[in-house]
Structure 1
């Protein structure tokens, strides 16, 4: 995101560098110095945007949330089902859907942050909670039965995790029948 004070998108460059470090090398290599170097900014430049490592990780999670919120808004604007969207597996090979690919990459990177020390701070935890709450709210707004909404969320989480782990997809016809049965119970 660019701002008048940040016309070249330094904040996004920093988050992109963090994402790349997480994906390529893991949490053990995420230091403020390494992220700044990978982003091509000084450590002071990084600290201008993110006051700590926890704030940096929270920034990555918040950007993930923004990307997911953008997708949910798009689904709703097109009159499509949020539940159907939530139950879809990510498509990392689909280069025509840049937003989906960006979300997929961000989710993979975010999962790598679970290696952060438990005392890393509360800001990252709050950011992740906000993302999960937003997705739950979107499903709850569409599905009036809270139990059914929770079942859809849990199945969607499992489908997404399966894809993120690189497991083979479920046979498409069988999966379509699973989704149909699940959503017919609404």
Structure 2
């Protein structure tokens, strides 16, 4: 792992665990176990760290969008089936970027919107109906939201974190796609 990635990982972890206000350059350097000078060599400011994280998110989302487009079940099934908090690099980076967006970071909000628009476009191309595409996206988003909350407030019967829960939701996706074809 490069020193740059180590610093970005530390920044990401601080965002997820402690929130945007805890992400001082000193805190990031300490978490990454590099000197502040080492951090500044790769990222001249906190804004540069944010840009680095958002570039990472864009790259991870592009790879996810490619996988989504190539899934033989279709983008809709892929989106819902993978809408779980799994601790993957994409998952961690999404949560970190969401923390920045909640802290009123405009670039983070724009990047998250663009990522989401990419997923929505693929689903819309597949189903051909904006309302059905929106329903599928919201189904996946709700699943993700409840998966993130499963350890805190979401009840087990609603969380949808188990494979059989996703299988049931994929049946709903199939019905929605069928409805859109009519």
Mapped to 2, the partners of 1:104 and 1:19 lie a distance apart of: 11
Which whole-Å deviations, capped at 9, do the CAs of 1:46-93 have from their partners, x for residues lacking one? 34433432332243233223222212212333433111111123152x
Pair 1:87–1:70, CA change in 2 (3 A): same
Match of 1:69 in 2: 62
d(CA) in 1 for partners of 2:39 and 2:91?
A: 24
1:182 aligns with 2:176: yes
In 2, Cα distance between equivalents of 1:144 and 1:69? 22
Distance in 2, Cα, partners of 1:17 & 1:26: 12
Residue deviations 1:7-54, cap 9 Å, x none? x52222111101211232222211122112222333344344334323
Distance 1:174 1:77, change over 3 A: closer
Inter-CA distance 149–32: structure 2 relative to 1 (3 Å threshold): same
Alignment of 1:19-168 (within 5 A): 19-88=12-81, 89-90=83-84, 92=86, 101-116=88-103, 118=104, 120=105, 122-166=106-150, 167=154, 168=156
**Separation in 2, partners of 1:133, 1:44:** 38
CA distance in 2, matches of 1:160, 1:34: 29
Paired with 1:33 and 1:65, the residues of 2 have a C-alpha distance of 26
Conservation of the 8 A alpha-carbon contact between 2:68 and 2:79: no
Range 41-50 or range 9-18, more displaced? 41-50
**TM-score, with normalisation over the residues of structure 2?**
0.75
Unaligned ranges ≥5, structure 1: 1-7, 93-99
Structure 1 stretches of 4+ moved >6 Å: none
- Greater helix content: 2
Aligned Cα root-mean-square deviation (Å): 2.6
Aligned length: 169
